[in-house]
C-alpha cells in the first residue's frame, strides 16, 4: 500500500455512516482539508453527515496511511465551513476528506507545502464534479430552464419582425420597392451576423474564465436588446428611420447576446459523459422547442390583451430574459473542468476557425450543420410571408403557426432522447436530411396550388405535413451534429469548437434569410425549391462523417474509445 508522498487519497462517508472505499483523489473532486501541524500515523478518517446538518468525524486504524490535517474544514462552494457547524449550504449526502499516503512528518516540509498547494488549487474549482453527479444533473436541469426562458423571448419577437419592419420600410422605400426584401433580409440576418462573429469568441472565453460569467453577460445583453425592440415597436410611422435603426440595434444586440448558446452547449458537455452526450444536446433542443412553442403563444395573447401597445411584446421578452438572468445569477454553478491547454486569447481567431474546418473528424460535421441551418433559415424567414400571401393569414395568427413549429420541435427532441439510446448519430442525421428536404421542397407545391386557385383547405392539407416534415428533420439533425462535434473534441476545447460550429450555423442564418427573401420577391417558388436542393446536398457528406469516427484525435471525449452509439462506422 506504500505510495509516493505526493499521491493523494480520498475517503468518504455517507449520512448512514457507511464508509466508502479508499480512492485516489482527482482534480474533479471537492477538497475538504486544511493541513495542520499534527501527523497521526495509522488512521483512516471519514466524515458522516446527519440529516440535521451536523457533521461528525470517525477514525479507524489502517496501516500505511497517515493524515496531515489537524483542523478539518468542509468547503461547500462559497467559503470554508467548520465541520461541526450547521449550514443549509452543506446539505450533501457525501463529503470527502483528503489524505496523503505515507507522509513523513519528521521534517519533509516541501511535501507538506505541495500538499497545501494542491488543496488550494482544487478549492478554486470546488463546483466542478464528475459528470452524472447530483451537482451536474442540477446544472443540466438549470441550463434547460434558462435556455427555455430566454427562448420564450425569442419566440415572442420573431413572428412579428417581418411585419414590423415592413411597417417602417414602406414609408422609407415605397411599398413595391424590391430593396425592401434586401433590407428585410439584412435585418433578419443581423442577429446571425453577430452570432457568427461572437460565438467562437464567447466559446474561447468560457474555456478560459468559465461558463457562468459568459452566460450571465449574454442574458444581460438579451434584456437590453429586447427592450430596444419594445421601444422601436411603439414609435409612429413618421419616425420610421429611428425605429428601423433601433430594430437593427436590437437584432444585432440580441445576436451578440445569443451567441452564448455555444457556451450553454459547453455546459451540457461538461455535465454529460460522452456516451450520453446526445441526450444532453437533445435537452437543449427541447428547451428551444418548448420556448419556441410558448413564446409565440405569449406574444399572441399579449397583443390580444393590449392591441394598441405594439411594444408590449418586446418588453415581455425583456422581462423574461431578466428572469433567466436572475435565475442564473442565483443558482447556476461553474461547470468548466480545470486544467488543459488554454484557448486562444484572440477575440476573433481565424486560425482556430480554420483548424476546426480542416479537421477530417469535425469538418464534414460542421459543414452539414451549416447546410442544414442554411435551408432551415430560408424556410423560417419566408414562412410568415407565405402565410400572409398564400394562406391569407393575418399577423397575429403567425404566432400560432410558429407555436405549432415549436411544439413539433419540442416533441421531436423529447422523442430523440429515447431514440438516441438505440440509433447512432449518423443514422439520425441521414433520416433528418431526407425528412427536412422533402418538407421544404413540398412548400413549393403549396405555392403552385395557390396559383392554380386551389381551395384553402387543400393548401392547408399540404402545408401542415410539409411543416412537420421540415421541422422533424431539422430536430433530428441538430442534436446529432452537436453531439458528434462535442464527442470528437478535447474536453478543454469544448467551448471553442462548439463556438465554431455555432458560428458556422450563424453564417448560414445570415445567408439563408438573405437569399430566401430576395428569391421570394422574385418568385415565391424559388426559395423552397432551391432550399430543398440545398438540404439534399448533405447526403453525399455522410460517408465522410462515418469515416471521421476513425480519425478522432487523442484527448477527445468519447468517440475514439467507442463510447456511445456514434463511435462506429
Q: For the chain, what are the domain ranges? A: 8-123, 134-551
Mode of pairing for the β-strands spanning 8-14 and 23-24: antiparallel
Which of 31-40, 234-243, 509-518 bottoms out in mean pLDDT, i.e. has the lowest?
31-40
Pick the more confident residue, 170 or 449. Answer: 449
Which CATH architecture fits 134-551?
Up-down Bundle (1.20)
pLDDT at 148: 81
Pick the more confident residue, 68 or 513. Answer: 513
pLDDT at 472: 94
C-alpha separations of 121 from 27, 107, 339, 388 in Å: 9, 23, 10, 60
d(CA 252, CA 501): 19
Average pLDDT over residues 384-394: 84
pLDDT digits 0-9 by tens, 32-80: 333 332 333 333 333 333 333 333 333 333 333 333 332 233 333 323 3
Q: Identify the band that residue 534 occupies on the pLDDT scale cut at 50, 70 and 90.
A: very high
The string of DSSP letters for 391-438 reads S---HHHHHHHHHHHHHHHHHHHHHHHHHTTTS-HHHHHHHHHHHHHH
pLDDT at 420: 73
Please answer whether residues 504 and 262 qualify as being in contact, where contact means their C-beta atoms are separated by less than 8 angstroms: no
Please answer whether residues 90 and 53 qualify as being in contact, where contact means their C-beta atoms are separated by less than 8 angstroms: yes
Question: Using CA of residue 429, residue 526, residue 516, residue 237, what is the dihedral sign?
Answer: negative
Pick the more confident residue, 222 or 159. Answer: 222
Which of 90-104, 122-136, 280-294, 405-419 bottoms out in mean pLDDT, i.e. has the lowest?
90-104
Whether the pLDDT of residue 438 is over 90: the answer is yes
**What is the grid cell recorded at 170?**
414602406
Whole-number average pLDDT of the chain = 70
pLDDT at 436: 95
Q: Identify the band that residue 236 occupies on the pLDDT scale cut at 50, 70 and 90.
A: confident
pLDDT at 553: 52
Q: Identify the band that residue 396 occupies on the pLDDT scale cut at 50, 70 and 90.
A: low
Residue reference for cell 483548424:
355
Whether the pLDDT of residue 223 is over 50: the answer is yes
Please answer whether residues 38 and 70 qualify as being in contact, where contact means their C-beta atoms are separated by less than 8 angstroms: yes
pLDDT at 101: 34
Q: Identify the band that residue 363 occupies on the pLDDT scale cut at 50, 70 and 90.
A: confident
Mode of pairing for the β-strands spanning 73-74 and 55-67: unpaired
d(CA 568, CA 40): 52
**What is the grid cell recorded at 487?**
464527442
Pick the more confident residue, 98 or 241. Answer: 241
pLDDT at 479: 84
Whether the pLDDT of residue 98 is over 50: the answer is no
pLDDT at 301: 82
pTM of the predicted model as reported, rounded to 2 decimal places: 0.60
d(CA 515, CA 379): 11
Q: Identify the band that residue 463 occupies on the pLDDT scale cut at 50, 70 and 90.
A: very high
Average pLDDT over residues 369-386: 89
Share of the chain above pLDDT 70, in %: 67
pLDDT at 206: 84
C-alpha separations of 372 from 60, 283, 476, 488 in Å: 61, 19, 11, 20
pLDDT at 302: 80
pLDDT at 186: 80
**What is the grid cell recorded at 370?**
451549416
Q: Identify the band that residue 526 occupies on the pLDDT scale cut at 50, 70 and 90.
A: very high
pLDDT at 487: 81
Please, what is the Cα angle at 528 between 475 and 391, to 5 degrees? 95
Q: Identify the band that residue 344 occupies on the pLDDT scale cut at 50, 70 and 90.
A: low
pLDDT at 128: 41
Which of 103-112, 278-287, 331-340, 429-438 bottoms out in mean pLDDT, i.e. has the lowest?
103-112
pLDDT at 359: 84
The alpha carbon of residue 298 and the mean position of all alpha carbons in its chain are separated, in whole angstroms, by 23
d(CA 315, CA 298): 12
64: left (phi over 0), alpha (psi -120 to 50) or beta: left
Whether the pLDDT of residue 11 is over 50: the answer is no
Torsion of CA 106, 109, 115, 118, to 10 degrees: 180
* Count of C-beta atoms within a 10 Å radius of residue 229: 28
Amino acid at each position: 500500500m506504500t505510495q509516493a508522498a505526493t499521491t493523494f487519497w480520498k475517503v468518504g462517508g455517507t449520512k448512514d455512516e457507511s464508509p466508502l472505499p479508499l480512492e485516489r483523489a482527482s482534480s474533479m473532486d471537492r477538497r475538504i482539508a486544511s493541513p495542520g501541524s499534527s501527523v497521526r500515523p495509522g488512521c483512516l478518517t471519514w466524515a458522516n453527515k446527519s440529516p440535521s446538518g451536523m457533521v461528525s468525524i470517525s477514525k479507524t486504524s489502517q496501516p500505511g496511511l497517515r493524515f496531515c490535517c489537524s483542523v478539518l474544514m468542509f468547503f461547500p462552494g462559497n467559503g470554508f465551513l467548520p465541520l461541526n457547524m450547521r449550514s443549509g449550504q452543506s446539505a450533501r449526502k457525501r463529503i470527502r476528506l483528503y489524505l496523503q499516503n505515507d507522509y513523513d512528518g519528521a521534517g519533509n516540509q516541501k511535501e507538506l507545502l505541495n500538499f497545501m498547494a494542491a488543496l488550494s488549487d482544487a478549492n478554486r474549482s470546488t463546483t466542478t464534479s464528475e459528470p452524472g453527479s447530483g451537482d451536474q444533473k442540477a446544472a443540466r436541469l438549470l441550463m434547460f430552464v434558462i435556455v427555455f426562458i430566454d427562448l420564450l423571448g425569442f419566440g415572442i419577437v420573431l413572428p412579428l419582425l417581418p411585419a414590423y419592419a415592413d411597417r417602417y420600410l414602406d414609408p422609407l422605400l415605397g411599398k413595391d420597392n424590391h430593396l425592401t426584401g434586401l433590407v428585410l433580409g439584412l435585418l433578419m440576418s443581423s442577429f446571425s451576423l453577430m452570432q457568427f462573429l461572437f460565438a467562437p469568441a464567447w466559446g474561447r472565453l468560457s474555456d478560459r474564465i468559465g461558463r457562468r460569467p459568459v452566460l450571465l453577460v449574454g442574458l444581460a445583453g438579451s434584456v437590453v436588446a429586447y427592450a430596444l425592440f419594445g421601444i422601436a415597436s411603439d414609435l409612429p410611422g413618421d419616425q420610421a428611420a429611428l425605429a428601423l435603426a433601433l430594430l437593427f440595434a436590437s437584432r444585432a444586440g440580441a445576436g451578440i447576446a445569443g451567441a452564448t448558446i455555444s457556451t450553454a452547449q459547453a455546459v451540457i458537455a461538461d455535465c454529460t459523459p460522452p456516451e450520453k452526450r446526445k441526450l444532453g444536446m437533445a435537452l437543449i433542443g427541447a428547451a428551444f422547442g418548448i420556448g419556441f412553442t410558448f413564446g409565440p403563444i405569449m406574444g399572441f395573447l399579449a397583443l390580444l390583451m393590449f392591441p394598441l401597445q405594439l411594444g408590449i411584446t418586446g418588453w415581455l421578452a425583456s422581462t423574461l430574459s431578466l428572469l433567466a438572468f436572475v435565475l442564473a445569477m442565483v443558482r447556476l454553478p461553474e461547470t468548466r473542468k480545470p486544467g488543459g491547454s488554454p484557448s486562444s486569447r484572440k477575440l476573433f481567431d481565424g486560425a482556430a476557425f480554420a483548424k476546426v474546418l480542416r479537421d477530417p473528424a469535425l469538418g464534414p460535421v460542421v459543414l452539414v450543420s451549416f447546410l442544414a441551418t442554411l435551408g432551415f433559415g430560408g424556410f423560417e424567414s419566408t414562412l410568415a410571408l407565405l402565410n400572409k400571401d398564400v394562406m391569407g393569414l393575418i399577423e397575429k395568427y403567425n404566432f400560432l403557426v410558429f407555436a405549432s413549429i415549436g411544439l413539433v420541435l419540442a416533441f421531436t427532441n423529447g422523442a430523440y432522447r429515447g431514440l438516441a439510446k438505440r440509433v447512432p448519430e449518423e443514422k439520425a442525421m441521414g433520416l433528418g436530411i431526407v425528412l427536412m428536404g422533402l418538407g421544404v421542397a413540398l412548400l413549393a407545391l403549396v405555392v403552385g396550388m395557390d396559383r392554380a386557385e386551389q381551395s384553402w383547405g387543400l393548401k392547408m392539407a399540404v402545408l401542415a405535413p410539409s411543416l412537420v416534415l421540415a421541422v422533424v428533420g431539422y430536430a433530428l439533425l441538430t442534436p446529432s451534429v452537436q453531439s458528434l462535434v462535442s464527442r470528437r473534441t478535447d474536453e478543454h476545447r469544448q467551448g471553442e469548437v462548439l463556438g465554431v460550429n455555432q458560428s458556422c450555423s450563424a453564417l448560414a442564418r445570415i445567408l439563408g434569410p438573405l437569399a430566401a427573401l430576395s428569391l421570394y420577391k422574385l418568385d415565391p417558388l424559388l426559395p423552397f425549391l432551391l432550399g430543398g436542393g440545398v438540404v439534399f446536398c448533405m447526403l453525399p457528406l455522410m460517408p465522410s462523417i462515418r469515416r471521421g469516427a476513425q480519425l478522432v484525435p487523442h484527448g477527445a471525449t468519447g468517440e475514439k474509445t467507442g463510447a456511445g452509439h456514434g463511435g462506429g462506422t
